[in-house]
Chains A and B, each alone.
Chain A
């Protein structure tokens, strides 16, 4: 019976080898993904108990920081400015995950990122409790505060960019929420707060500035104007501007909401008075392919600001001519985030060069040495520098002599464009305004949206509601 017993021993040996091999395989290949799993309570608890790095604005101002606490987690995440930076920092909660930079820079903040390996080793040897990296943002507290105050209790969003670099100077969304409420260590209380926020119809948890898209309405005329200039028109080119335009192959008429100054007007004047029929005609003349190409050069149909999980703005495909006419004035299926419209204005202000927007300037190790630094990057040349200068001048006229006069700042030349967009006849329209300043040497580009503000319908207009917010934001950025 020895021969079969030896064979059985061989089988047993294979079984034990398989067990050992499988355990080795688990350690080598399964461990990382298991530890990274969001449902893994062990890693979640351990992370919660870590001295998480701070998220800073303008060098020293903490947007989120960690304080010692005497409960089971040892450390408590604190947002010293309550609601002010919620759109950027996001929250760090126990049961409802993380959002914003708390999520996208989680491993760095927690100190578990591979790049912090040496630090962890040193901490282990010196018996120091490990510390996470610090995330330095591009947010300027002064600008953020001004934009927040100006928007007030109205529903909407503000984005301010540095057109030269793409740095996000301010990002405000309203209504907002206090991340402290969902980051508390009383898990039940935090969960109740989260549920309440998630169920609020105004959706305070939503980042309207980067993660929501709206019909841009008249502010999209900037894109159409850019496409026209690139197609060979000039600001003085005459465009037909009838009182109403019959949409091709339909029985519908597109009316003007302003007086376009006769049946024919210049491109520049059409932008000044925001003439619908003139821009519909421009769009029809340029054609949908060139218009779409222009929109995409400005960043449409692509996602931006991945750190905050930004969504893509949309310019539709395969339109008939009626739809093209509507799209040229930012209606139909065109949809843009406030961030996207700020990018359009920033590209025009930066002589046609579109910079990739970013919100994190630097990640620093606990000993303040930089781990990574964001270098400004050019996304595309949206239009030629010469055409961009023409469009800057046209936008200056909009503020100096046209619908955007509420954005004027004494002593500074401002370029801008108003917008009023109707998403749905039953809803109140959206008021838009986008602008940059100073025209000669732009330092800031802003986009503002105010959602169905509570005033009579005929009064709503980008220039009236949104322009003062843009002005306040620009003033703060320039001071």
Chain B
């Protein structure tokens, strides 16, 4: 940043482009939903006109909120998310129809989508600026920890599918780790921006690599221990990996010291290996990855997902024409397998690329952003999303051992959906501040670009 020349290009708002892309996304999603109906039942469900109008209005409101409050925000993020969210709902609707009588998971998912959109609008319209969040480092950190460990509280936490990561209140279950992801990303960012200079101090030098000082190891060891606790007590490999990976990456970005990455990777490898030795559920996951056909009964889930992907082939069976219902959890953890079956490898790759677009737009925002907190937060949120997509889609397609993470915006489940909408809200808020032209740009000393004073003045 400090070496960059003063920015000469004045970014355009591009809200018109966003509206056009949103229209395209809306039509695409409605098309998918209609195709499911037509292919499975032969007629549009009576809900369709209401759905079309409702989603149209919701998307329009989101767009208007952006146009009104953060006009310089990145124009690609919102349409990408609408496509993912919408195709997710269409796929859930498709799997609903496998059941006899049909379930209505799509309705629940639509309600959560509405809530997610409302929170997105709230972030955009009410918060509008990410910088005040920097003031709540320890409050947010503590809240994140509490959320993470909430499922372990007796009476509150419930175990599903072998992992204790849900809490249940009044019949509604919620995965607090998803909310913790956002809260902790903010806490990590503000903590690291504050301590980056200390943490960047070199300690021992090993093989040409500067490792941190022993006394600064506290935070990383703390996060490591919490990650291991999640792994051990909640039996959730995915969440554990996500948090630790997120923290190490943000530590690296904040300090610019590759030593942290080496140390973090080493710690995670050690923890993972210990877990492999000690816990059967980790062994099962690894076994299903290396040799799924070694034990058909035990690795059934992974195997049927593979069958589904193979059945879809290059171009897919078409929405409503495959057999995604044969894979357990097809609408949550394994939605990528269902998509791969019906939309084919081509469709699945298109979806992966849309995730890629979101991640790289987020990282681009981080590069453009002028304040270190925003930079770090944007990079963290974007990388967290990348890590999550990589682990879950990689797990379903047998690139990696399977971990129980949700597929962002697509898997059925309210907590994940709502949290990810907030993530997108934050990224767009940061991108608005990053792309916004500075009134007095000419007079600025590049080193002073990030001063709080200047920003507040505008």
Contacts and interface: CB of A to CB of B under 8 A. Distances in A.
A72 interface: no
B399 interface: yes
Contacts of A26: 306, 309-310, 345, 397-398
B256 A15 contact: no
Interface stretch (A28-36, A94-102, A277-285): A28-36
A27 interface: yes
Interface string A220-264: 000000000000000000000000000000000000000000000
A19 B397 contact: yes
Nearest to A27: B345
A24 B345 contact: yes
Contacts of B310: 26, 30-31, 34-35, 40
Contact of B383 (A8, A22, A45): A8
Nearest to B345: A27
A18 B395 CA distance: 12
Nearest to B359: A12
B306 A18 contact: no
Interface string B299-329: 0000110111111011000000011001000
A369 interface: no
With a 10 A CB-CB cut-off, give which of A19, A22, A41 has the most chain B CB atoms: A19
Contacts of A24: 345, 349
A2 B1 contact: yes
Contacts of A15: 386-387, 390
A35 B308 CA distance: 9
Contacts of A8: 249, 252-253, 363, 379, 383
Contacts of B334: none
B88 interface: no
A122 interface: no
A43 interface: yes
A40 B249 CA distance: 41
Contacts of B256: 1, 3-4
B313 A31 contact: yes
Nearest to B363: A9
Given A16-B359, A35-B310, A23 B386 contact: no
Contacts of A30: 306, 310
A20 interface: yes
A332 to B, nearest CB: 41
B198 to A, nearest CB: 16
A114 to B, nearest CB: 15
Given A1-B254, A1-B375, A23-B349, A42 B394 contact: no
B253 A5 contact: yes
Given A8-B249, A8-B253, A23 B397 contact: yes
B396 to A, nearest CB: 10
B105 interface: no
Nearest to A14: B390
Interface in A295-330: none
Contact-residue bracket for chain A: 20 to 34
B349 A20 contact: yes
Contact of B386 (A12, A27, A40, A41): A12
Interface in B1-16: 1, 4
B185 interface: no
B116 interface: no
Contacts of A40: 307, 310-311
Contacts of B394: 18-19, 22
B390 A16 contact: yes
A4 B355 contact: no
A24 B376 CA distance: 33
Given A2-B367, A9-B360, A15-B386, A27 B314 contact: yes
B372 A42 contact: no
A14 to B, nearest CB: 10
Interface string B353-388: 101100110010011000010011001001100110
A388 to B, nearest CB: 50
B311 A43 contact: yes
Best-buried of B311, B322, B375, B376 by chain A (most CB within 10 Å): B311
A41 B307 contact: yes
Contact of B252 (A4, A31, A41, A43): A4
A13 B340 CA distance: 21
B348 interface: yes
Contacts of A19: 352, 389-390, 393-394, 397, 399
A427 interface: no
A30 B389 CA distance: 22
B412 to A, nearest CB: 21
B397 A41 contact: no
Contacts of A31: 309-310, 313
A69 interface: no
Contacts of B311: 35, 40, 42-43
B397 A5 contact: no
A37 interface: yes
B340 to A, nearest CB: 7
Contacts of B304: 41
A16 B375 contact: no
B296 interface: yes
Interface in A32-63: 34-35, 37, 39-43, 45
Contacts of B367: 2, 5-6
Given A9-B360, A34-B306, A40-B307, A18 B399 contact: yes
Interface of A: 1-6, 8-9, 12-13, 15-16, 18-20, 22-24, 26-27, 30-31, 34-35, 37, 39-43, 45
17 contacts: A2-B1, A5-B366, A5-B367, A6-B367, A8-B249, A12-B360, A16-B386, A16-B390, A19-B352, A23-B397, A30-B310, A31-B309, A31-B310, A34-B306, A40-B307, A40-B311, A42-B326
Interface of B: 1, 4, 249, 252-254, 256, 293, 296, 303-304, 306-311, 313-314, 322-323, 326, 340, 345, 348-349, 352-353, 355-356, 359-360, 363, 366-367, 372, 375-376, 379, 382-383, 386-387, 389-390, 393-394, 397-399
- Of all A-B residue pairs in the complex, the 7 with the closest CB atoms, nearest first, are A34-B310, A22-B399, A15-B390, A12-B386, A4-B253, A31-B310, A27-B345
Given A19-B399, A41-B326, 13 more contacts: A1-B253, A2-B1, A5-B253, A5-B366, A5-B375, A8-B363, A15-B386, A16-B356, A16-B359, A22-B399, A26-B397, A31-B313, A39-B296
